[in-house]
Structures are given as C-alpha cells and as structure tokens.
Structure 1
Amino acid sequence: MSTAVAPSHSLAFAPRIQELLDRDEKVFRIDPDKVGVSDSRLLAEIVAARPVHSTERSVYKPAAGADIPHDSATRTIRALGQDAMAGIRKPPPPARGMSGTWPYAGTSHLRRWLFSDDALPVALLSKRGVSRSDSLSLLVDRAVTRWPGRPGRAGSTELAGLIRDAEDPLERRQAAAMYRRATATLCDGVAGLTGNALWLMGPQRRQEWHRGDLTAILWETLRLLPPAWMLYRKGGEAYAGLHPEIRPGDDIALFPLLMHRHADYWSQPLEFRPERWDGVADPEKAPAFMPFGFDGARCWAKHLVVPLAERLLTTALENGILVRSPRPEAEVPLRSLLSVRFEARLAV
C-alpha cells in the first residue's frame, strides 16, 4: 500500500507501520490488551462513547512535577495562537537554513521565524538541540526561572510573557515547560506536514507549483501522510459492546492513516490527487477524514497548522528547494508524528 506518487519517488514505511498498512481488517487486535480501529462508523462511535480524559491530551500532561491547571493550558493555547499569527506576518529568516535533513531543517527554520526574538535563555526553550537533551533542558529551565526577561521587550512573544508574569516558582517552571511543549508540538507538526508535502509533490509538481494550489496540496498530504497518524485512548467500559473484538479494559488505537487510505471511503485512495479537494468548502467535514482528531479532542493548534505550513512551503518553493536523497525511496520512521526523512538544498 505504498503511496503512488511517481515511479521514482516512493516511500518506505517503518516495518510496524507497513504491517498496519498491509492489513485488510478495519478492526483488529494489536496485542492482548489493545485493539486497532480504522472503520469510520465504529471510530465515530468510539469518539462519542465518552469525553476525552485530560491525561489523553498532551497539553494537559503534568509538567514540573504537578498537574497543569485548565486555565493555564488555555492561556498557553491562546498565547501560542497569537504568537503564530504575528510570526507569519514577519519576513522569514534566511532561507539557507532550510537546507539539510527534513523535517528537522523545517522545524529549525520555523522556530527561528516565530520565537527567536525572545530573550535568552527563553528562546533556547524552543531550540531542538536543547530540547533533545535532558541535561541542557534542565539548565535552561533553571536559568529561565531566574531570568525570564524584561517586561515590554520588543519582539517578545506572548508565551514568553506567561513565563515572565508567573507569580511563583512552580508557575514559572510550568510556564517554561509549556513554552517548550507548545513550540515543539506546533513547529514539529508544521515541519512534518510541509516536508511530507514536498516529497509527495515530486519534482514535476514542485517545478509547476502555483500559490493557489498549495492549500489543496496540504489537505491531500494530510490525507495520505497525516502527522497525527494514530490516536490513543485508554480502555474502559464505555467501549465494551461497540464491537465484538473490543473487550472491557482494552486500549484503543484509532488510525486515521489507515482510514484515509480505504477504498471504501476514497476513490483511487493511494494516489496523490490534490484536485480531489477542489470545491470542498470545509475539508474537515469530509467523511472518513480525521486530520486533526475529532470533536472534543481536536489538535489544539489545528487552526494554525495549515496556514503556517502554507507559508513554510511557499518559502521553500520560492527558493527553489531541491530534494536530494541518496535513493528515490524516502524513509518514514516509526515516530509519534508521521514524517518523511529526506535531504534537501535550495537552488538560490
């Protein structure tokens, strides 16, 4: 079930993902305590069976050794939206930073675009090299709690303001953790979607791109390679009885990646066809399409992802990005965010 883009431009999924793609069943047992679901009707019933628990949403997971209050998470989401919308109105940083391994090059470029104006060490919270190291993260967190920046600093983000305005050490540590979490989730997701689109477009579409085509290209990319390719729900009585395969206590793995590729729901499901979205006023209402989750538990940054990806993709294409990989088949590793790995450089 590899994506048919072009004979010379294909994908190699990680074995665990390929095993899922090779399955014919829409409801199947993954292990003794976990069931996979990609059936559109059953998936809707599971979604409606109970509200999403706070522990099942990444933004609410504990930080700095304590639970995140709901109002604090809400402030973070609101601040991130303000920062992202303000950021994409600024000129992008030098395009040379988009050369290298994707999606990492895209992530770094987007973080510089949106968050590099924050004072040190706050700006370091969004650096990929720092966030990947527990020891560096701890040092930066400690520095931020002691030096959160000055009020009214030009260019400072709303997220940085939440750190600066915290009233006690725990609130400041949590605000720093939420800064890192929010910026990483947004930038990694947008870069993953943009990189997936670059690969699926292939050389010919990249050469012939037009601004008006990019939104449809991104929606079609979200269908074939949704970064949020699996949604996980803890088991419970609410799901028992919805399907014979689901037992009380079974955890549920919902697979948009599989649902988006079922011939029952889509014509020519393995073909990259952005034109299928022509005239679709609200793609998220398309049947059997779940690019950002579902009602009550949609991605909290979903309204930012496509506009930011369109800006990032536009910048890459305007600078003549060239995909350079040692072989025509790109790898899609097993990660929480589904993203194609490839090397790229800019022509100008």
Structure 2
Amino acid sequence: MNDHRGIDLLRLDANTVGVAAPALIDQILSARAATEFERPTFKPLHGRSIPRDYALKSMQAIGRDVRTAMKKQQPEKIDLSGEWPHVGHVFLRDLILGGDPYRLRFLMDRILELTPKLTWAVIATGALTSFKLQPGASALATLTASASTYADRRYAMGLYRRTAAPVCFTISTLVANALWLGAPFDDAMSNRNILYEALRLLPPSWNILRNASPEYCALDSRIGPDDDVLILPLVSHRDTALWDDPEAFRPERWNSLNPDDHPGFLPFGHVSERCWGQNMVIPLAEMLLNILRNDGFAVSPRQTVATVPLAGLLGVSEVKISRR
C-alpha cells in the first residue's frame, strides 16, 4: 500500500493496469458504460444474459422487501453476539426473507460461497418443482415463483441469490468492519458517519474492472490496446493527497465531506453508474448498527487480531462480538 499510494497508474501484470488517481478514474469510468460482463451483480447467469429491465424488477422487489423489513417492530433485546459478519448475515436474511420457502432462504447460506458449482447444484435441485408461497413471502420470492418451467425456475432462483445475497453479505460485512475499526463509538457520533468511514478504510467493493477497450488508450498512452483496467478504491481511499491522516478511523471527517462527490471515494461505484443497492445498504446498515450500539455490543476485548481476506467482498472475518 505504501509503495503505491499516490501513484496515478501502475502496471499490475502484462495485460492489466491499476488506476487510483481521481481524475483518471473519472475519465475511464465516464468513457463508456459497463458491459454486461463487467457488472458486479447482473453479469450473465450460467451463460444467459440478464436483461436490464429484469434486473431492475429484481432490485425494485428487494427494495420493497427492505423497506418492509425496516418497518417491523424489533424485540427490545436481540442477541447479536457471536462471530461476525455471519451473525449479522443470518439476522438480515431472516429479517428480510424470513417468510420465503426454505429452498430460497438456503440460497443465502454463506457455505455456498465456497464454489459456484455447489451453488448451481443447490439451485438445480431446488428448481425441480414449482413454488408454493405462504403469506408473508417477500416480493422477490413472488417474482421468483412466477417462473413456470424448470429452466426458468433455475434462472429465477439464480437471480434471487444474485439480488438478495449481496444485500445481506454487504451490510453484515460493512457493520462488522465498522465494529472492528471503531467500537465502542462516541455517543455523539452518527451511524452514517461511522459507516462512511468504514467504507473508506475497508471498501466492500475494493476494485472495479473494465475490460480492454479502445477508449482507454486514447485517455492515457500508458494504457495499451489489450490492457484491462482495474480501478482501485482501496488505494484512492488512502491517498494522502485526498485524505487527512488517511490510515486513522475518523468518522468525524464526514461532518464536512460529501460522500457523493469527494474525489476518489467510490464505495458504490462511479457517479456515472452507481450501484443500485446504495439506497438500501446505508439505511439498513444504520438500523443494524443502531441496534448494536443501543445494546452495548462491541468487539470482545479478548480479540486483538483479525484477518481481512483479499476476496471479492473486502471485510474483516471472524470478529467476535459481545455485550460490554
């Protein structure tokens, strides 16, 4: 990180360059729209394209489910102790999708992250018969259950996971990151500022891929015609030219910064193509973090070390959370 901080462009391998300078990031991500293979969530599913209107219907459905979940009356005491982000993921799955058939809710299980083959085997088995929904099923489950053939059910179940799992995974990981980085928090500090600072230091989407394209060669001569471009928020979020004391967890910095237009801050992608889930992630993460803070949850004082695997979703793993 120290070797590459502040560098606008660096070569990562023979056919990949990394970019972390805000001006060049803006130029590259504005040069053309993302292709279907570059979308983080709605890339082709088992070789079958996901039309934009179908993806939009899925996001609108999960959006309705999130709004419904946030209106639910929560018990006064919720036991959220244990290993995060797993505990938070299970809580969110049950909160948002608790009324769905088991074979759909099982698609949220983190064990399916082990291999795509396992995920697809579970989907293929679950699609053998049609769905019977009970009252209280999610809007996303209703959309999924409308598929009438085996092939369409497989496709719909795959899209159910593609749509809902990132919401549960991202929010539970974001809140776990925030707890690890700063809990217990100052009582006066807003949940939103805490989350923005966690997004800065541990951005769940730490890179944005753009495949080789002639538009990029025209922007910078160091980018070759066969070079893929990897945008690196993980680096730009720690650039000393963009942030005061960039390694420190300082939520109060967001009192005077605008997350929507601060240079180099890309937790939900570029302004030209923001993640559709942004308006769900932040409010739901605020709600969950508020529950944890009100009930006095924090990282166990016995845990002083944790790992951050360099995976698709950047987050601290196996954080032990308990009441203070």
State the Cα deviation string for residues 16-50 of structure 1 (Å, max 9, x = none): xxxx4532423110011100110111111111211
**Closer, same or farther in 2 for the Cα pair 1:65/1:50, shift >3 Å?**
closer
Q: How far apart are the structure 2 equivalents of 1:91 and 1:174? A: 34
Q: 1:307 offset after TM fit, Å?
A: 0.6
Contact 2:242 2:264 in 1 (8 A): yes
Q: How far apart are the structure 2 equivalents of 1:243 and 1:289? A: 21
State the Cα deviation string for residues 169-221 of structure 1 (Å, max 9, x = none): 33222111111111111111111111111111144x2xx434x6111111111
Q: Which residue of 1 aligns with 2:129?
A: 146
**Closer, same or farther in 2 for the Cα pair 1:114/1:295, shift >3 Å?**
same
1:1-348 residue pairs with structure 2 within 5 A? 20-24=1-5, 25-92=7-74, 95-96=78-79, 98-130=80-112, 132=114, 134-135=117-118, 138-150=121-133, 153-203=134-184, 205=185, 208-210=186-188, 213-280=190-257, 282-324=258-300, 327-347=303-323
Q: Indicate the SS of the match to 2:240.
A: coil
Q: How far apart are the structure 2 equivalents of 1:169 and 1:342? A: 38
Q: 1:338 offset after TM fit, Å?
A: 1.0
**Closer, same or farther in 2 for the Cα pair 1:299/1:37, shift >3 Å?**
same
Q: How far apart are the structure 1 equivalents of 2:263 and 2:98? A: 40
Q: Indicate the SS of the match to 2:37.
A: helix
State the Cα deviation string for residues 67-114 of structure 1 (Å, max 9, x = none): 222221111111111111111222457733x33322222212211111
Which segments of 5 or more consecutive residues in structure 2 lack a partner in the other structure? Answer: none
Q: 1:123 offset after TM fit, Å?
A: 2.2
Paired AA for residue 56 in structure 2: T
Q: Indicate the SS of the match to 1:276.
A: helix
Paired AA for residue 261 in structure 2: K
Contact 1:110 1:187 in 2 (8 A): yes
Q: How far apart are the structure 1 equivalents of 2:124 and 2:145? A: 13
Contact 1:200 1:221 in 2 (8 A): yes
Aligned residues: 321
Q: How far apart are the structure 2 equivalents of 1:293 and 1:141? A: 32
Q: Indicate the SS of the match to 1:291.
A: coil
Q: 1:226 offset after TM fit, Å?
A: 1.1
Higher deviation after alignment, 248-257 or 169-178 = 169-178
Which segments of 5 or more consecutive residues in structure 1 lack a partner in the other structure? Answer: 1-19
Q: Indicate the SS of the match to 1:329.
A: coil
Q: How far apart are the structure 2 equivalents of 1:190 and 1:180? A: 15
State the Cα deviation string for residues 110-148 of structure 1 (Å, max 9, x = none): 111111211232222223235646447524543345131
- Taking structure 2 as the reference length, what is the TM-score of the superposition? 0.90
- Taking structure 1 as the reference length, what is the TM-score of the superposition? 0.85
Q: Which residue of 2 aligns with 1:13?
A: none
